[in-house]
């Protein structure tokens, strides 16, 4: 009987954890958007956390900060390509540092969440509106994508070796 090695199992378990995080992000994002579409009227603000956050459903046909408005097909294709590349990266790469792994999981979940909207509805459902500041309305997938950026930055700043030497 061949000896049991822990290395492949650790890699496999790590991948399962990262894909599970992504699936949870997509599920929470899609469930929250379904709730918004079923319970809110487009453009009408509803208090949520007084003085901090309100809910207002908007249909976003662009990207972050409403860039590339009415570019649903292009942004849908971009979402698909990014999701496939990130999924491939998770599945094929050797073990990443924890921050990089979290970044990939959040990026995959957020990209898939907004991609589902683009392909199924022709727009992204945004609904979280910060009250005290003038900031674009966003959703759970957007939060995940921004967390991915933060995790990539933390990984870059905390790594003693350049990415090419990992």
Q: What residues are labeled active site?
A: 126, 142
Other Cβ atoms closer than 10 A to 92? 8
3-state DSSP: the chain helix, strand, coil percent, rounded to 5? 60, 15, 25
70: left (phi over 0), alpha (psi -120 to 50) or beta: left
Q: What are the structure tokens assigned to 144, written together?
A: 């995940």
Closest of 14, 34, 27, 32 to residue 112, by C-alpha: 27
Count of residues making up the chain:
166
């Amino acid at each position: 009987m061949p000896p049991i090695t822990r290395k492949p199992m650790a890699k496999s378990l790590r991948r399962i954890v990262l894909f599970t995080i992504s699936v949870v992000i997509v599920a929470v994002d899609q469930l929250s958007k379904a709730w918004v579409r079923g319970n809110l009227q487009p453009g009408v603000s509803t208090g949520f956390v007084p003085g901090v956050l309100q809910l207002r459903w908007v249909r976003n046909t662009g990207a972050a900060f409403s860039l590339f408005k009415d570019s649903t097909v292009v942004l849908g294709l971009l979402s698909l390509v990014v999701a496939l590349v990130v999924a491939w990266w998770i599945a094929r790469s050797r073990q990443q540092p924890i921050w990089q792994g979290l970044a990939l999981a959040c990026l995959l979940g957020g990209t898939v969440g907004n991609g589902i909207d683009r392909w199924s509805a022709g727009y992204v459902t945004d609904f979280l509106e910060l009250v005290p500041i003038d900031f674009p309305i966003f959703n759970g997938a957007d939060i995940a994508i921004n967390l991915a950026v933060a995790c990539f930055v933390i990984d870059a700043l905390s790594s003693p070796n350049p990415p090419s030497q990992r």
